[in-house]
Amino acid sequence: MSKLEDIVSLCKRRGFIFPGSDVYGGMAGTWDFGPLGVSLKRKIMDAWWNYFVDSRDDMYGVDAAIIMNPITWKASGHTETFNDPLVECKACHGRFRADKLVDNATESITTEEFLAANVKCPTCGKTDWGDVRKFNMMFKMTVGPVADDEHIAYLRPETAQGIFTNYKNVVDTIYPDIPFGIAQQGKAFRNEISPRDFILRDRECSQMEIEYFVRPDAWEEAFEQLLKEYHFFLTEKMGLSANNIHDEEVPAEDRAHYSKRTVDLEYDYPNGREELMGVAYRTDFDLSNIAKASGKSMEYRDKNTGEVFVPHVVEPSIGVERLMLAVLAEAYTEDEIDGNTRVLLKLPADLAPYRFCVSPLLKNKPELVEKARTVYDALKAKYGNVTWDDSGNIGKRYRKQDEIGTPKCVVIDFDTLEDDTVTVRDRDTAEQVRVAIDEL
Ligand code: GAP
């Protein structure tokens, strides 16, 4: 298993991920994606959209505003219940998530339970604690030129509410047959007490969520089906190994306030097993609360049977950064070539920032460079994500492309000028074969 520090270091060295606001010393819980990171991130998001939206007839996309009317968060229960247990060390005033300091604790840990565990402060080592308090994780802001209590709004903590609040708009414009899903990708913000483990727990993250609307008696079938489809997506499209993914039935006391059943898909990250995503049965909780808060009906009328009901919802939700970290951890490999350690990213070809790297063997031979340019142009026109590299010697170029996960390096040499064949070198095996340019 790869080490988290190795992945962090590769990501910085090769331009995947940098600390947010790096130049000013960073901003905890935020990350910036560099040229290769944004490429990988977009490919992951596009693969998800293709698989769960474009290739299906029962899914519709939306892209809702991040700043929503604050009634949204009252109706959804987030103002009341979107809390983490916060505890403060009275000696050094360090603040921590209480449940993360006690083995097997849940988010509903009480002061008594916390104190009974006799935890030492991770910063100063003392055991002088205050009470465990509820800390609401929504980022508060004011909207417009008057900064008073009447103008408070929040950065959305989940993309889901932008889907629920558009449910009626979609039904009244698209007339989908039930069951159907509404999907959204976008930023979500959480004022995490302790952001940690690189991009695993961030204050600003991206989510990919589906709210799948079903008849009230059909949720179990939809739940199992979506779970199965996510396993397929994670293993076949994202390259994650099935052995590293674990379904965890979440007990009632640990479930979010809206859920009657949740299965978390946990992944064996370098620092241990953590939640990658969840599938939740949200019942009619959200639609019924929106109906109450807005005074508008959220009922669905079945065109075929004439039945009228409020749909129930199954929600698969996955964070892009958590998925990206799993993809990177799975791909990060060290092996040995000619007695030297080599680092490579065995990314699936469809996710690799570049599919091909094209190089002239020597940079100072115009005839090689010219020929290589024609090969580069042809591959670029066909695949788009093709890179050019004529820096350093060929060995160094291979090492660099291995580290960024480029599956194939194509090298143009003097034989190419004679017979129109090139060397194609494979990232994973380091094997080289001779291939006709026409067959690339
Ligand atoms: N709409 C349901 C919802 O938001 P959640 O379990 O709170 O449920 C869903 O979040 C997913 O979003 C998580 O499984 C995780 O992949 C991602 N996620 C949540 N908080 C995150 C954070 N602070 N940093 C990165 N990803 C996060």
- According to DSSP, the β-strands at 356-360 and 59-61 are unpaired
The angle subtended at Cα 338 by Cα 346 and Cα 343, nearest 5°, is: 25
Angle at 267 between CA 53 and CA 98, to 5 degrees: 110
Q: Which atom of ligand 1 is nearest to the CA of 275?
A: 14
Q: Is 321 in the pocket of ligand 1 (CB under 6 A)?
A: yes
- Is residue 270's pLDDT more than 70? yes
Q: 65 C-alpha vs ligand 1 centroid, how far in Å? A: 18
Looking at the domain assignment, is residue 124 inside a domain? no
| C-alpha atoms less than 13 angstroms from C-alpha of 350 in its C-beta half-sphere | 11
Residue with the nearest Cα to atom 15 of ligand 1?
Answer: 319
Domain match, 280 and 381 both: no
Say whether both 315 and 365 belong to one domain.
Answer: no
Query: Is the CB of residue 277 below 6 angstroms from any atom belonging to ligand 1?
Result: yes
The CATH number given to whatever domain includes residue 220 is 3.30.930.10
Cβ contact 116:126 at 8 Å: no
Taking residues 144-173, what's their average pLDDT?
Answer: 97
Could you tell me the pTM of the whole model? 0.95
59 touches 52 (CB < 8 A): yes
**Model confidence pLDDT, tens digit, residues 223-233:** 999 999 999 99
Contacts of 302 (CB under 8 A, 6+ apart): 178, 308, 309
Distance of alpha carbon 225 from alpha carbon 52, whole angstroms: 12
Nearest CA to ligand 1 atom 16: 319
Please tell me whether residues 381 and 308 are part of one structural domain.
no
- What tokens were used for 74? 């009252």
**182 pLDDT tier (thresholds 50, 70, 90):** very high
Which pLDDT band holds residue 408 (cuts at 50, 70, 90)? Answer: very high
The answer on 432 and 398 residing in a single domain is yes
| Ligand 1 center–CA 217 separation, angstroms | 27
435 and 360 in a common domain: yes
Q: What is the mean pLDDT of the chain?
A: 96
Q: Would you say residue 21 lies in a domain? A: yes
Stretch 143-154: mean pLDDT, rounded? Answer: 95
Task: Report the pLDDT averaged over residues 73-89.
Answer: 95
What type of residue is 250? V
**At residue 418, does pLDDT exceed 80?**
yes
Residue 135, domain member (yes or no): no
390-402 pLDDT, tens digit per residue, is: 998 999 999 999 9
Average pLDDT of the segment spanning 205-223: 98
Separation of CA 278 and ligand 1 centre (Å): 8
pLDDT band at 174 (very low <50, low <70, confident <90, very high): very high
**Residues 177 and 314 occupy one common structural domain:** yes
Do the domain assignments include residue 126? no
Cβ of 322 closer than 6 Å to ligand 1, yes or no, is: yes
Strands 408-412 and 356-360: parallel
327 phi and psi, to 5 degrees? -65, -45
pLDDT tens digits, one per residue of 113-123: 999 999 999 99
Among the candidates 278, 312, 329, a domain finishes at 329
Q: Determine which of 102-106, 150-154, 310-314, 353-357 has the lowest per-residue pLDDT on average.
A: 102-106
- Same domain? For 318 and 379 the reply is no
CA of 403 to the centre of ligand 1 (A): 29
Q: Among 33, 158, 184, which is best to mutate for testing ligand 1, by the most ligand atoms less than 8 A from CB? A: 158
Last residue of a domain, one of 314, 329, 344: 329
Structural domain contains residue 141: no
Residue 407, ligand 1, Cβ within 6 A: no
Give residue 338's pLDDT: 85
By CB neighbour count within 10 A (0-12 exposed, 13-18 middle, 19+ buried), where does 195 fall? buried
Q: Is residue 369 part of a domain?
A: yes
Task: Return the pLDDT at 107.
Answer: 86
Phi–psi pair at 315, nearest 5 degrees: -120, 110
Residue 77 lies in a domain: no
Q: Are residues 49 and 182 in the same domain?
A: yes
Q: Are 268 and 287 in contact (CB under 8 A)?
A: no
Could you read off the pLDDT of 317-363 as tens digits, one per residue? 999 999 999 999 999 999 998 899 999 999 999 999 999 999 999 99
281 Cβ neighbours under 8 A, 6+ residues apart = 219, 223, 259, 260, 261, 262, 312, 313, 314, 315
% of the chain exceeding 90 in pLDDT = 97
pLDDT higher than threshold 80 for residue 1: no
Distance 318 CA to ligand 1 centre (A): 6
Res 436 pLDDT > 70: yes
Co-location of 59 and 189 in the same domain = yes
Q: Kindly indicate the confidence band of residue 2, based on its pLDDT and cuts at 50, 70 and 90.
A: low
Residues 315 and 384 in one domain: no
Q: For residue 209, report the distance from its CA to the centre of ligand 1, in Å.
A: 10
230 shares its domain with 299 = yes
Listed range (63-72, 100-109, 221-230, 258-267) with the worst mean pLDDT: 100-109
Q: Is residue 44 located within the same domain as residue 159? A: yes
Q: How many domains does the chain have?
A: 2
Domain that holds residue 190: 4-67+146-329
Across the range 126-155, mean pLDDT stands at 96
pLDDT, average across residues 64-87: 96
Residue 96 lies in a domain: no
CATH number, domain at 401? 3.40.50.800
Say yes or no: CB of residue 275 within 6 Å of ligand 1: yes
Residue 199 CA, ligand 1 centroid: distance in Å: 12
Give the list of residues 6+ apart from residue 338 with CB closer than 8 angstroms, or none. none
Task: State if residue 97 touches ligand 1 by the CB under 6 angstroms criterion.
Answer: no
Q: What's the whole-number mean pLDDT along residues 284-288?
A: 98
